[in-house]
Amino acid sequence: MNNAATTNQAAVARVGQRVSFRLGTSDVEATVIEDRGPIGINGRRLVRVRLDADFYGEEHDFEMPVEELHPA
């Protein structure tokens, strides 16, 4: 991975950062709550995100690859 991609991932994946991503047919927003590091397949960087309660009626936490996230 080149330095520009690494820098972009770091900017999107800060704890507390609001991010958006595709979930099914909708774009949703979430908050990064933990940087899990390069623990995915082939060192893919993962972060734990939290969906707001208004999306499903309660909060949901799960892991997402950083490259699928965009600043909200």
Per-residue pLDDT of the chain (72 residues), as tens digits, is 555 556 566 667 799 999 999 988 989 999 999 999 999 999 999 999 999 877 667 888 999 999 999 998
3-class SS at 35?
strand
Bridge partner list, 7: none
Give the sheet arrangement for strand 70-71, strand by strand: 60-65, 46-51, 26-37, 18-23, 70-71
Assigned fold of 3-71 = SH3 type barrels. (2.30.30)
